[in-house]
Every structure is written in C-alpha cells, then in structure tokens.
C-alpha cells in the first residue's frame, strides 16, 4: 500500500508534480464527520423526538419510607427492593457523573421513597456537589430525621430542599400518613431553615374528605415561617390504584380556597420549565404555587429524566418502559455506552402523560418506587 493512514484513520497519498512524486508538504486532511442528529447516540444531551432536552435528573435513593401517605403507599408498605438490586453509593455517583459530564444534566434532585433513610446520603450529596460542571443539588424529603441531618447536608453542599407536609393538624396527619410524626416534620423544616438550606419549599397534596380544607392554614403557616408553599394535584401514582379524576382536589378548588382568604396576583416572573404556576400573596413578594399536573399539564416543557433506586432510567413519571443501566453497568459497560443507552431511552419520551385519555394506564411502579 502506497498511502499513509492519518490519525483519523483516513488513507491518502502524497501529491504528484510532473513525473516526480514528492511527499506532500500539506498537513493531513481534516476529516469532517457529519454532525449527529440531536439526541442521536454518541454525542450531545438527552433530547427526545419532540425537541425537549432533559437537564433535570431525579434520583430515587431508596423505595423505602417511614410514612404511609395514602396517595402514595399502602399502610402495610410494599415489597421493598432486595439490597442486591439497589445501586450502591458508588454506582449512583457514577451514573450521576455520567449525566453531568456527558449528558448535560444541570440539576440533580435526590428523592425516594424517603432519601433520609439512605445511610450514604451525605456522601452521595458531597460527591455530586464536587462534580464539574457543578450541578444544582436538592432533596425532596418528608423531613423525619432532618433536624439531626440538616447541618451535615448543608456541609455536603446541598443547595435546597422540598419538604412534604399536607396538614398542620396532628390527627389528620396521622390519618393521612398512618404515623404520628407531625412534630418531627415541623422540627425538620425549622432545622433546614436554620442550616441555610433556603428557600425551603413545602409540597402539599390535598385529598377529598381528609385534608381538602387545609389550603389556607398551610399557606398561613408557610408565610409566617418563610417557607415557599406549592400545592401538587394528586396524580394516579398510588400503589393501590385508588385514584379517580372525580375525587381529585383540583388546582381550581385550591385557588378558590386561597382567594377566599387572601389576595393572589399572578407572578409574572418567567416560569421556564418549572411546573408551578405562582401567585404573589397579599401585595407582598411572598408566593404560593400550584402544580396542576393533571388539569393543566406542563408536559410540553418537561426537562426531567429519572433514575430509580434499582438503576432504571425512566423518561417520564408515567412511562411504561424503563432502560436498565444497572445490568449494563455491572456487566462492564463503559461511561460512553451507558450515556448512549440513556440517550436512546430519552428519544422515546411521549409528548404527554395522557391521564385524560381513555387508554391511559397507570404505571406499575408507584410514586415511592419511581422517585417523585
Ligand atoms: N418521601 C419524600 C417526600 O414525601 O417528600 C420524597 C418522595 S415523595 C414520592 C415525593 C413527592 O411526591 C412528595 O412531595 C409527595 O407529596 C409527592 N407524591 C407522592 N405521591 C403522589 C401522588 N399520587 N400525586 C401527587 N404527588 C405525589
Ligand atoms: Fe413516603 Fe414520600 Fe410516599 Fe409519603 S409521599 S409515603 S413520605 S415516599
């Protein structure tokens, strides 16, 4: 063979002047590789076929929980994942790193189940906040145990957290969660604020016949304590499949309660991919949000991707398919191969959750096993 092979693997020969062949003084030719289509395996971020890019990663650290919120988990609990199926701390950190370094993840939220039950939580948070580029790192928690853990989480670099609190009435809390732990949750909230994990956000779900009239007391408690309250419409993600559209407390119902007691003015600040519609309360700059996941879905602006505690990628809360990164990782897949699997899993993200569609099927995993 007379030609040479460039470092790029392209064969070429020297130039010919008259009858004399001389070595070319030119550098090796530049090989132009066509730019891959957005979302194609091999490069780029997590782009789906509808043009959305996922930059917000939700990581479930455990499917276990110490509460039994009726809209999430049955009183007897669930069949927990066997330990061997759960990602180890190192495996979680590796996949988060691949998301950040290869796939353009900008925000990481740890959730569950109850993430404070994960023994390695602070180490995982510290490893995530040490990544470059540094993602925003947050936590969604029921706050039981937070009064003890908040300083360590702040020291690990946690930026923010969301605490779930659906009522301030001890009996209703017990009825809703099957546990008498309201005081622990309130102590956890205060500890988060004291540790500087601000703004502390509070997530509330209202249920017909239990806490449906608690919107105003929750708002007033949050305003008084400097917490940002957001109501979330109940979604069909309960383990016992008891959700019905007719029984759901809607965003409209919630706003009717709030406006009967307070003046709400829409907050015109750019909402971006944030799911909460926000209102300024009583002429102040304090806000309340409503996440109308069911009645005014925001799927068109969705920027989320999810990793379950057993290492499955879900491109949507309501996805019926998952992509198994755990097995691939344990069989020796490289970072690049895992990133490609994640990209491919993203391509098929559906345009919307379709809860109102007659053909809608609730996912087989409940919220606690997916990671809310
Ligand atoms: N245990 C933590 C907590 O409760 O904050 C984190 C996991 S929990 C699954 C995450 C969030 O999902 C909570 O704010 C909870 O209220 C919400 N959630 C759970 N089931 C839900 C449902 N069926 N509809 C709407 N939100 C739900
Ligand atoms: Fe546990 Fe959170 Fe589900 Fe309540 S919503 S049962 S705290 S995982």
Distances in Å between the alpha carbon of 60 and those of 48, 178, 182, 251, 364?
22, 22, 24, 27, 16
Q: Is 160 labeled as ligand-binding?
A: no
Nearest atom of ligand 2 to the alpha carbon of 66: 1
Q: Is 235 marked as a binding-site residue?
A: yes
Cβ atoms of 27 and 52 within 8 Å: the answer is no
β pairing state of 46-47 and 323-324: unpaired
Report which protein residue has its CA nearest ligand 2's atom 8. Answer: 113
Q: Would the annotation count 113 as a binding residue?
A: yes
72 among the known binding-site residues?
yes
Choose among 316, 333, 328, 325: nearest CA to 367: 316
10-residue block means of pLDDT along the chain (372 residues)?
33 34 44 44 86 96 96 91 97 98 98 97 98 98 98 98 98 97 98 96 96 97 97 85 84 96 89 78 95 85 95 91 96 98 94 72 72 72
CA angle 321, 327, 332 (to 5 degrees): 140
Which helix H or strand E contains 371, and what residues bound it?
A: none
Atom of ligand 1 nearest to the CA of 163: 5
Looking at residue 9, its pLDDT comes to 32
pLDDT value at residue 18? 34
Q: What is the pLDDT of residue 271?
A: 62
Indicate which atom in ligand 2 lies nearest the CA of residue 113: 8
Q: Is residue 316 a known part of a binding site?
A: yes
String of b and e for 317-339 (b: at least 16 CB within 10 Å)? bbbeebbebbebbeeeeeeebbb
Task: Give the N- to C-terminal CA distance of the chain in Å, as an integer.
Answer: 61
- Give pLDDT, residue 203: 97
- Cα of 167 to ligand 1 centre, how many Å? 14
Question: From the CA of 324, how far away is ligand 2's center (Å)?
Answer: 24
What number does the ligand 2 atom closest to the CA of 205 have? Answer: 5
Peptide bond between residue 199 and the one before it cis (omega within 30 degrees of 0): yes
- What is the 214 CA–ligand 1 centroid distance (Å)? 17
3-state secondary structure 233-257: CCCCCCCCCCCCCCCECCHHHHHHH
pTM of the model: 0.87
In whole angstroms, what is the distance from residue 74 CA to residue 178 CA?
9
157, with CB counted inside 10 A (0-12, 13-18, 19+), is middle
H-type helices in 156-211, by residue range? 170-177, 182-194
Assigned CATH topology for domain 46-370: TIM Barrel (3.20.20)
pLDDT at 317: 86
Q: Is 109 annotated as a binding residue?
A: yes
Domain boundaries, given as residue ranges, for the chain: 46-370
- Ligand 1 pocket: which residues have CB below 6 Å? 65, 71-72, 111-112, 114, 140-142, 164, 203, 205, 232, 234-235, 237-238, 367-368, 372
67, 70, 184, 372: residue to mutate for ligand 2 pocket, most atoms within 8 A of CB? 67
Measured CA to CA, the distance from residue 289 to residue 282 in angstroms comes to: 14
Q: What are the DSSP calls for 289-342, one per residue? A: EEE-TTTT--GGG--EEEE-TTSEEESSTT-S--EEHHHHHHTT--HHHHHHHH
- Render the burial of 87-118: b for 16+ CB within 10 Å, e for the rest: bebeebbbbbbbbbebbebbbbbbbbbbbbbb
Q: Which ligand is nearest to the CA of 117?
A: 1
Alpha carbons 17 and 316: distance in angstroms, whole number:
62
Rounded CA separation 274/279 (Å): 14
């Amino acid at each position: 063979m007379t030609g040479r092979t460039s470092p790029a693997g392209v064969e070429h020969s020297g130039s010919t002047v008259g009858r004399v062949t001389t070595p070319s003084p030119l550098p090796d030719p530049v090989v132009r590789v066509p730019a891959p289509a957005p979302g194609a395996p091999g490069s780029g971020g997590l782009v789906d076929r509808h043009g959305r890019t996922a930059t917000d990663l939700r990581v479930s650290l455990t499917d276990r929980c110490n509460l039994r919120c009726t809209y999430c988990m049955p009183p007897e609990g669930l069949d927990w994942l066997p330990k061997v199926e759960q990602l180890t701390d190192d495996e979680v950190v590796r996949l988060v790193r691949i998301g950040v370094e290869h796939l353009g993840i900008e925000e990481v939220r740890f959730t569950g189940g109850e993430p404070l039950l994960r023994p390695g939580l602070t180490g995982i948070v510290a490893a995530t906040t040490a990544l470059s580029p540094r993602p925003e790192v947050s936590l969604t928690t029921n706050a039981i145990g937070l009064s003890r853990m908040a300083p360590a989480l702040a020291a690990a670099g946690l930026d923010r957290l969301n605490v779930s609190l659906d009522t301030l009435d001890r009996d209703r809390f017990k009825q809703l969660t099957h546990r008498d732990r309201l005081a622990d949750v309130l102590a956890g909230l205060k500890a988060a604020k004291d540790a500087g994990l601000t703004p502390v956000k509070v997530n509330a779900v209202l249920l017909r016949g239990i806490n449906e009239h608690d919107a105003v007391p929750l708002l007033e408690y949050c305003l008084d304590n400097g917490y940002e309250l957001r109501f979330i419409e109940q979604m069909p993600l309960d383990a016992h499949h008891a959700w019905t559209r007719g029984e759901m407390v809607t965003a409209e119902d919630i706003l009717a309660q709030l406006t009967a007691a307070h003046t709400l003015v829409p907050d015109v600040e750019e909402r971006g991919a944030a799911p909460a519609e926000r209102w300024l309360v009583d002429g102040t700059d304090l806000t309340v949000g409503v996440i109308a996941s069911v009645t005014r879905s925001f799927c068109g602006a969705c920027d989320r991707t999810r990793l379950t505690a057993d290492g499955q990628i879900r491109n949507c809360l309501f996805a019926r398919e998952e992509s198994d990164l755990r097995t691939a990782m344990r069989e020796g897949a490289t970072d690049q191969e895992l990133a490609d699997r994640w990209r491919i899993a993203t391509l098929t993200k559906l345009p919307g959750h379709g809860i109102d569609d007659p053909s809608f099927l609730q996912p087989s995993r409940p919220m606690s096993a997916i990671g809310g």
